[in-house]
Structure 1
Amino acid sequence: MTNPGQPGDNSPYNQPYNPAQGPYQQAPKKKRKLWPWVAIGVPILLIGACTAVIAGSVGGDEETSVTKASGTAAEQSSAADDSGPDFPGKLDSDTAAAGGDTITRDDLAYTVMPLAATSSDFGDHLCSNVTIKNVGSKQNDFNGYIDWSLQDASGTIRSATFAPEKQLLNSGEIAPGGQTTGDVCFEAGAGPGTYVVLFEDTFSLSSDRLAWVNTL
């Protein structure tokens, strides 16, 4: 057994005395590992960015307005009247107008003409001619298919469909001051009654719908 202080003893007791360090040498400090903080910090940053985007989507909607086909603004005397004409299944958050009127929201003005019946070898359809104008100062996108649906006289809501005899509304972006025009079509399958063309932005967190009411 080697006694403390004997030659060959590597214990702290046998180390040379250094006045700056005191009688014994201190153990070197361990470096902290960075990867746990990176692993924790990156998800937090991503969550923060997503939260900012969601907040912008929820709080960025501008006021919705309705312009009649005659070019005059619809009267808005109260919050209840702002939502426009009534129709079966109308939701509290819906903004409705008559076919042919223009509804403006988020710097896009949607003019949806009254429904018209059309027939071809592919079946019978109901189509509305739609014009979308960018009335804002920034480029804005639009979708000519998945954002549109039709509530028929029976209360069934149908998705937009392909009608080869029509120039269908495409999807893309509209520059400030620009506009695009095309048809949105639906399968015809119900009798006379109230038909409602519905628009709902698929990529928005808002559930507010725009609606154009037709009587066929």
Structure 2
Amino acid sequence: MTDPGAYPNPGQHPSPHGQPPRNKRRVWPWLVIGVPVLLFGACGVAVVASVAGGNDTTVTTGPGDGDAADGGAADRGPDFPGKLDDDTAAPAGATITRDELAYTVSPLEAVDTVLGSYLCSTVTIDNVGTSQNDFNGYTDWSLQDTGGAIRDATFGPDRPMLNSGQIAPGGRATGSVCFDDRTGAAPGTYVVLFEDTFSLSTDRLAWITTL
């Protein structure tokens, strides 16, 4: 006769072979936790790859001069006040090529208008790659003045501005990038800075003008 007190829980019975019953392990909670973790890890790998790759930078100072600096090497061009470790610098007028876009920035020019004074550079961007590429004449550009203050590009009256858009492979965009001349073009070192707003890279390109 079976002792009714031996199995206090309803429905609990010994196994046919005398072994205690096994509890079924639930699999779905691990799937719910594991799948997002795997997806997040894959995204992390993709982000790291996008930051690490495609950042080769070269500088050409003029026709026939060849590559004056290699962004992958220790030499990242001339120094300037406030230069960061990952900045690639060149004299104004040089061409810096990165991510299949070649940027040529002319020396700064003082421009006086009825609305104020500006410092402007003419920027030419050549798409030397095989894919369509974006450009922006405002959010990507800034100017470091002689006092070390950095300010964003602004609209310059009476100048054909660079504006923004896309460049087809083999195409070119050109126009002015202007900045408020609050210091009255004081003598010293000015640096036109480029930093891609929508890139994960924080590396800046810099063109140095001495007025």
Look up the match of 2:135. 142
Distance 1:12 1:123 in 2: 90
- Please tell me whether residue 206 in structure 1 is matched to residue 183 in structure 2: no
1:70-115 CA deviation, whole Å, 9 max, x = no partner?
34224459944x3112211112211111111100011110001111
Contact 2:61 2:68 in 1 (8 A): no
- Please tell me whether residue 215 in structure 1 is matched to residue 204 in structure 2: no
Look up the match of 1:115. 108
Identify if the C-alpha distance between structure 1 residues 154 and 175 changes in structure 2 by more than 3 Å, giving closer, same or farther.
same
Look up the match of 2:79. 86
Choose which of 148, 165, 177 in structure 1 pairs with 2:170.
Answer: 177
Normalised by the length of structure 1, the TM-score is 0.77
The equivalences for 1:60-75 within 5 A come to 60-75=53-68
Contact 1:147 1:199 in 2 (8 A): yes
Count of residue correspondences: 198
Amino acid of the residue matched to residue 144 of structure 1? Answer: G
**What is the root-mean-square deviation of aligned Cα atoms in Å?**
3.0
Contact 2:60 2:68 in 1 (8 A): no
Identify if the C-alpha distance between structure 1 residues 118 and 97 changes in structure 2 by more than 3 Å, giving closer, same or farther.
same
SS at match of 1:166: coil
Distance 2:199 2:147 in 1: 28
Amino acid of the residue matched to residue 196 of structure 1? Answer: V
1:136-195 CA deviation, whole Å, 9 max, x = no partner?
122222222111110111111111112232222222222211111121111102211110
Runs of at least 5 residues in structure 1 that lack an aligned partner in the other structure: 5-10, 14-21, 23-28
Runs of at least 5 residues in structure 2 that lack an aligned partner in the other structure: 5-10, 17-22
The equivalences for 1:27-176 within 5 A come to 34=28, 36=29, 39-41=32-34, 43-76=36-69, 79-80=73-74, 82-176=75-169
Distance 1:87 1:52 in 2: 35
Fraction of identical pairs, as percent? 61
Distance 2:89 2:81 in 1: 12
Distance 1:198 1:69 in 2: 19
Look up the match of 1:188. 181
Look up the match of 2:19. none
Identify if the C-alpha distance between structure 1 residues 124 and 55 changes in structure 2 by more than 3 Å, giving closer, same or farther.
same
Contact 2:58 2:68 in 1 (8 A): no
Identify if the C-alpha distance between structure 1 residues 148 and 44 changes in structure 2 by more than 3 Å, giving closer, same or farther.
same
Contact 2:118 2:179 in 1 (8 A): yes
Alpha-carbon deviation of 1:45?
A: 4.8
1:17-46 CA deviation, whole Å, 9 max, x = no partner?
xxxxx8xxxxxx989685x45643553354
Contact 1:57 1:204 in 2 (8 A): no
